[in-house]
Structure 1
Amino acid sequence: MSSPKLFMHIKEPSLASNLLSLNSVSQYELNISHQGENWLDQLTLAKCDVALIEVNSLDDIALKELIHSPVFYQTEFLFFSQGEPDPILDQLMNKGAGFHYRAPFHFKLIESSLDDVFRELSAIKGNTNTQTSYLDQFGLLVGSSTAMHSLYQTIRKVAVTKANAFIIGESGTGKELIANTLHVFSQRAEAPFVAINCGALSPELIDSELFGHVKGAFTGAHKDHQGVFEQAEGGTLFLDEVTEMPYEHQVKLLRVLESGEYKPVGAQQVKIANVRIVAATNRTPHDAIRDEVLREDLYFRLAQFPIMVPRLRDREGDACGLAQHFLAYRNAQDGEHKQFSAKSLDKINHYVWPGNVRELKHAIERAYILADDTIHPDHLITNDVNHQVEQDKTAGIPFGMRLDDIEKIAILKTLKQNNGNRTDTAHQLGISVKTLYNKLDKYESIKAI
């Protein structure tokens, strides 16, 4: 089996030398351009799988011609530049050209990208009957849609700054993967990435989980404990579902962001926080502030750079691509060669995926277990289940029941289904958290009478 072919058009000697020294480059069949000649013509003749292109001139004729060339769709590109604005290159990146690395270059990440591309190309060349993943990958994120490439571009810009980022998106869209990718591409990449789900914190232990405690600080504190601010020292702290943190505790987080200081529970000594904060929520910040589940001053401290995450249904073509990606990796894990039928891909493509990527991944996992060699539409049970729910959503509601009684039943059943999580319950019912609290208080008052 022949190795994937790599084309290199790099003029700057030190950059060329560093790239040639990467172990990942040695895996490819290497083709180096003749300087002074049109590199796109050379790439077209060479028919390479991957191209490393140095961009250092707005007058680069080949770059302008690339978007109209079939090579654009047949080759994985890694562009290198000194960072000068280049509208032609920006247009190429928005069309899904690949990766754009700006000086100073992070060669470890470049090598990782080349390794990933090599593995995917080798799988394709080695077994054309094997389900493969063809989607672009950036950090821990996978997707080739315009929406995802726009997200990659945003992450590249934000990652190299010191700004706190606030990730906003529906459940299942991959907010933690985005936070982790921000970390990987930041200057803190060698330090820890620590994630904590604010919705899972016990109100009695929030201070300890965030800031730590010393031995004997409270009953059960048998030894010193590092909080997440200390665990993430020098790195990135990801506060997932930050709007689930009790409102009265948010002011303590605000103080740390304002002063950089915190004190473990029971300690006398103040510590200085050295972390980058990335927070996330599945709620609209405006609604969360209005409903008094997120402090407005805390939001502005966290959201120095807001990042909006696209829903899966807004990522044209990515649903099928992700399905094939998940199946390819599951096949590789088990040594299988399962495939999607054309009708199953059509079903995946036309379903709206309200649970986003998480729902899709779970559906593929179930289909993989159910199928023998080929995954057919009946193995993808999600759409059928939701269709049945749509048909039966009025079942069990008796005629003539008072509307306020129906409302009470809906609220209490939804609250129970969500294990008492009032934010999720309000979100599903289409009401504010404040309204939900008022109604629950009303029910308690009636019960007391």
Structure 2
Amino acid sequence: MMSLPKLFLHVQDPTLASDLLALKGVLQYELNISHHEENWLLQLTASQCDVALIEVHSDQDESLSALIHHPILSQTEFFFFSQGEPDERLDKLIQKGAGFHYRAPFNVNLVASSLNEVFSELSHSSPQVTTQTSYLDQFGLLVGSSSAMHTLYRTIRKVAATNTNAFIIGESGTGKELIANTLHVFSPRADAPFVAINCGALSPELIDSELFGHVKGAFTGAHKDHQGVFEQAEGGTLFLDEVTEMPYEHQVKLLRVLESAEYKPVGAQHVKKANVRIVAATNRILGNAIRDEIFREDLYFRLAQFPIQSPPLRDREGDACGLAQHFLAYRNAQDGLHKQLSDQSLEKIRQYAWPGNVRELKHAIERAYILADHTIHPEHIITNEIKAQEPSKAAGIPHGMRLDDIEKIAILKTLKSNDGNRTDTANQLGISIKTLYNKLDKYDNSPLV
């Protein structure tokens, strides 16, 4: 008969303890309750439990500090419970893959669901929110208590345990790199490097060098050997952000590496083996990108062994206000202040669609924090909402100018305003990145005089 999972409970709050103990009626496990007058880490180590439920207090907890470098961290699944006060030790533990961090008010049903998931894997192998607290749950580098986020947490746990390539699809600002990093943290490769590269920011002339490296003397300016990202991420995870923005003609080289697990640095005589887990991401609609020949379909199928959807903030019920409080709590803790959001501000946050997602919200709270003295009012929350303006009639366009010259001026001026970012330029002009590269190549050969 298979033994029951062993659960260690160190919770002082009587209500929380009662709620967690009640789970015994729906989950089967062997329970070990700590003696609060003794060091809980020593008790946990001696108990050899599979799962630990630990209530964290803001006062100095020597056990929590010691856990950061304790070997039991990689042997036990942790469920931390706190009142939401920012704690660097706890953040570090979660980022190292310790497990879940639940912030008050606690949803015991979600805790039970996550426990059941952990137990299943083992069997096969409301307090007041203040200006100093966050009440959102945390998993790895991700924060959110909505059902959409808890579904994402469960997906990450399953995918991270494999060596499968993952493709994260979602709008800008939804935290795709945080998802990729959390996949890495919970994977067997967690002790090896996590290397991220933005494919849309790569110069076409240097893509091969950035991906695969080069040897000294391979080309003009190659004064020394250079490690590409495949070598930098050896044994770990390589995150290819905005992979659909990689020039089309270079994508086949990436495909070859995925098929053969081999690559050759520029100018080198010998191939190298690639031992990396690939996580890619895009904010494009993939069907359109493949149809428009921006992204290779065969490369997509190689990368998307497991597609992961990054939920937009509008689909994360209740998380917008929670994230606003979360960002504010950490900003207050940083400066030792007690700024707070008014009820009207929270209502504005709740009602706004946040097209820029979590990134836009975080920037809005940062701006509001700077503008407000003590209380953040609605007028302090400045969003990035873009309002259409009527175009001026033929403004700045000389009579009789050729259409291709007007097009060139529009492209070069937009590129300059975006500090050379080709991806943003193509999006603003409504053309594909491939079309933009083709036009820029043409302009280099025939400058406007």
TM-score norm. by structure 2 comes to 0.70
1:234–1:275 contact (8 Å) kept in structure 2: yes
> How far off is 1:314 after superposition?
2.2
Deviations 1:288-319 (A, max 9, x none): 22222211211111111111212112222211
Question: Which residue of 86, 95, 101 maps to 2:118?
Answer: 101
Specify the code of the residue in structure 2 equivalent to 1:396.
Answer: S
2-side partners of 1:73 and 1:219: how far apart? 60
The letter of the residue matching 2:262 is E
The aligned residue for residue 54 of structure 1 is none
Q: How far apart, in 1, do the equivalents of 2:437 and 2:270 lie?
A: 39
Tell me by how many angstroms 1:229 deviates: 1.0
Distance 2:374 2:105 in 1: 34
Q: What amino acid is aligned across from residue 390 of structure 1 in structure 2?
A: K
Task: Describe the superposition over 1:55-106 as per-residue Cα deviations: whole angstroms up to 9, x where unpaired.
Answer: xxxxxxxxxxxxxxxx996548645xxxxxxxxx5xxx6xxxx88424656x
Tell me the equivalent position of 1:424.
424
* 1: CA distance, partners of 2:217 / 2:198: 26
Tell me: CA distance 1:448–1:207, structure 2 relative to 1, closer, same or farther (3 Å): closer
Give the whole-Å Cα distance in 2 for the aligned partners of 1:435 and 1:173. Answer: 27
Alignment-derived partner of residue 260 in structure 1:
261
Instruction: Report the equivalent of 2:392.
Output: 396
Matches within 5 A, 1:247-326: 247-326=248-327
Alpha-carbon distance in structure 2 between the residues aligned to 1:278 and 1:251 = 17
CA 1:345/1:167 → structure 2, altered by over 3 Å: closer, same or farther? Answer: same
CA distance in 2, matches of 1:278, 1:431: 26
Q: Is the 8 A contact 1:3 1:27 kept in 2?
A: no
Offset at 1:156? Answer: 2.0
Unmatched segments (≥5 aa) in structure 1: 29-47, 51-70, 80-88, 106-120
Structure 1 residues 314, 430: CA separation in 2 closer, same or farther (over 3 Å shift)? Answer: farther
Letter in 1 for 2:49: L
Query: Within 1, Cα distance between the matches of 2:440 and 2:254?
Result: 29
Calculate percent identity across the aligned residue pairs: 70
1:324-358 CA deviation, whole Å, 9 max, x = no partner?
Answer: 11001111111111110011111111112121111
Name the CA distance, whole Å, in 2 between partners of 1:104 and 1:166.
Answer: 24
1:388-429 Cα offsets, whole Å, 9 max, x none, are x526x1153469x99x89x95876654443345444334345
Separation of aligned partners in 2, 1:265 and 1:15: 58
Distance in 2 between residues matched to 1:75 and 1:160, nearest whole Å: 25
1:227 aligns to 2:228 (yes or no): yes
Q: Secondary structure at the match of 1:382?
A: coil
Change in Cα spacing, 1:434 to 1:264, as seen in structure 2 (3 Å) is closer
- Tell me if structure 2 keeps the 8 A contact 1:243–1:294: yes
- Report the CA distance between 1:146 and its aligned residue: 2.4
Quick one: structure 1 residues 416 and 298, their matched pair in 2 at CA, closer, same or farther if it must change by over 3 Å?
same
Q: Tell me if structure 2 keeps the 8 A contact 1:235–1:275.
A: yes
Give 1:170 deviation, angstroms: 1.4
Query: 1 or 2, which has the higher helix percentage?
Result: 1
Once the two structures are superposed, what CA deviation does each residue of 1:212-255 show, in whole Å capped at 9, x if it has no partner? Answer: 22233333333322211111111110011111212211111111
Distance 1:170 1:417, change over 3 A: farther
Deviation string for 1:167-208 (max 9, x for gaps)?
111111111001011111212112111111112222222222
What is the aligned partner in structure 1 of residue 374 from structure 2?
373
Residue pairs, 1:84-123, within 5 angstroms:
89=113, 100-102=117-119
Residues 323 and 364, structure 1, Cα contact 8 Å, conserved in 2: yes
**Contact 2:248–2:434 (CA<8 Å) still a contact in 1?**
no
Letter in 2 for 1:18: Q
Q: 1:26 to 1:296 in 2, by over 3 A?
A: closer
Kept in 2, the 8 Å contact 1:194–1:236? The answer is: yes
- How large is the Cα RMSD of the aligned pairs? 3.9
- Partner of 1:18 in structure 2? 48
Residues 138 and 144 in structure 2, CA contact (< 8 A), matched pair in contact too: yes
Pair 1:24–1:231, CA change in 2 (3 A) = farther
Q: Which residue of 1 aligns with 2:101?
A: none
Tell me the secondary structure at the aligned position of residue 383 of structure 2. Answer: helix
Q: Give, as a single letter, the amino acid of the residue that structure 1 aligns with 2:231.
A: E
Residue ranges of structure 2 left out of the alignment (5+ in a row)? 1-10, 34-46, 59-79, 83-103
User: Residues 214 and 149 (structure 1 numbering): CA distance in 2 closer, same or farther, change over 3 Å?
Assistant: same
Distance 1:377 1:397, change over 3 A: farther
* 1:253–1:398 CA distance, 2 compared to 1 (3 A): closer
Provide Cα deviations, 1:105-142, integer angstroms capped at 9, x if missing partner: 6xxxxxxxxxxxxxxx9xx68xx643421112121111
Report the counterpart of residue 350 of structure 2 in structure 1. Answer: 349
Query: Is the CA contact (8 Å cut-off) linking 1:183 and 1:189 kept in structure 2?
Result: yes
CA offsets per residue over residues 342-388 of structure 1, 9 Å max, x none?
Answer: 111111111121211111111111111111111111111226xx3xx
Distance change >3 Å, CA 225–CA 432, structure 1 → 2: closer
- 1:197-208 paired onto structure 2 within 5 Å: 197-208=198-209
Distance change >3 Å, CA 132–CA 209, structure 1 → 2: same
- Whether the aligned pair in 2 keeps the contact of 1:260 and 1:272 (CA below 8 Å) is yes
CA distance in 2, matches of 1:49, 1:195: 31
Name the aligned partner's letter for residue 387 of structure 2: E
Tell me the equivalent position of 1:62. none
Tell me if structure 2 keeps the 8 A contact 1:291–1:433.
no
**Aligned residue pair count:** 368
> Could you tell me how far apart the structure 1 residues matched to 2:210 and 2:171 are?
26
